[in-house]
Structure 1
């Protein structure tokens, strides 16, 4: 899939569902935004905002005009998921932004969110744009157990705070699918591999493992990954989740071992940046920066645990 491509999701029995490759970090098949074309059309996550025009073009291609979009549903407020929300809200005046209560102030005034993102992503900030603030009267809070009615579809909200305390996943019962946010890892379709995601500053291993139990209880046929794309897990949800649990536990153990062996945080970060196996898929720069980000998240978790 190439940057800017819009495809209908045909995995499982999905209908009315499309996804866009946003070209996040100038990388193919890394950042996806989902579009549900229903009575109340919806976008699930918005990307970082850098390639916002691609999202406008995708909505037009699906047949959703500026006055038609009604729902901007954010799985969490990390800017690779919510960075485009303000641009979208400004151009689509009938769309409200749905987000966990922790995210409201950060969307209305993104300054602290921007500062935290710059600190977390380091050199990757060059791929971002400053987000647009969203008027508070356009923001709707959602919590575990809520549902967003779209018509034939609804988005049922399940808390999934291991990756970040403001993260939720959205269950779409009509499609027997879940928009998994970052709760189920990073799916790499090119090599059909699941990878860890453990950014600072709120990564929590035990809660991430608990979030996998949440996904297991939903037991869908399809996982819709923002990183990246739809994946069939029909009849094999627990195997997929056990696979990611093992990836997370092995990753945290590997960082802990190097933390004990090496002298200082940057030595540990550099070790994993140099050792990444994803260069052939994401390119040297993105693979290295991804490893740095995830290493720093685990180091923060280990420090907090102590």
Structure 2
């Protein structure tokens, strides 16, 4: 690879590490993406970064797409490229930023996997064998009952749960608080866990879920315990926290068809995000539209008039 390509790239990575104080992991990510671009530029016969044009980068994006990179990965490559050219402009090694107005192709949004209702019921009906499994069952019941994110579950304190009213107060993304219902099974699981917690929690610890050492349970521990629960109980797929959240959303939508209500429960700012969790087909959405929109209603009166008019012709 020509020095005219390697030198500025090395300087940029050094700039990220020393001036911007990015972590080694972040610097490695930038370097990996930009080295891929540098190899492509060299193969394309462009000996220096200032020779790269907007058209060249569009060809590069097309190449990445053909090689199977997702839209999100290509967007990351373009972000690194834009940042690199900002540095080159500052160092007077380029006259413009050819990546500025290039956008990555959109990736298709896939429905997440969910657990079958009967399978989840079987897994959650399993009896715990020790105090830690009493805690685990309580966590999983609460996640599935209220559609909690992993971070939301781990951050719960004793005073955020009201067993009398069956509610839990959650601090979601962006620091937004929401009040969620807690189902009967989850309330029973919390009632079973609280006496066990008393014997484990360190003095002054406010966390609802604590480790064997008495401290707030970490995200990684929740993930590991859920995976272990699935293995020991014979689940036919790997269990993870978001699977319970996906399943909550999907099962609620299948039963109610109320997208707005599930949006509120999940704490989504945009209803389009909620739609990713659904398994609703177009026919169902069309029926909701026909029944709800004032300009789309087809009531019996209109249908009868249409039939009568047709028969009179």
Q: Aligning the two structures, in what range does the TM-score lie when normalised by the shorter sequence?
A: under 0.3
CA radius of gyration, larger in: 2
Using the size of structure 1 for normalisation, the TM-score is 0.27
Of Structure 1 and Structure 2, the greater strand share is in 1
Of Structure 1 and Structure 2, the greater helix share is in 2
Using the size of structure 2 for normalisation, the TM-score is 0.26
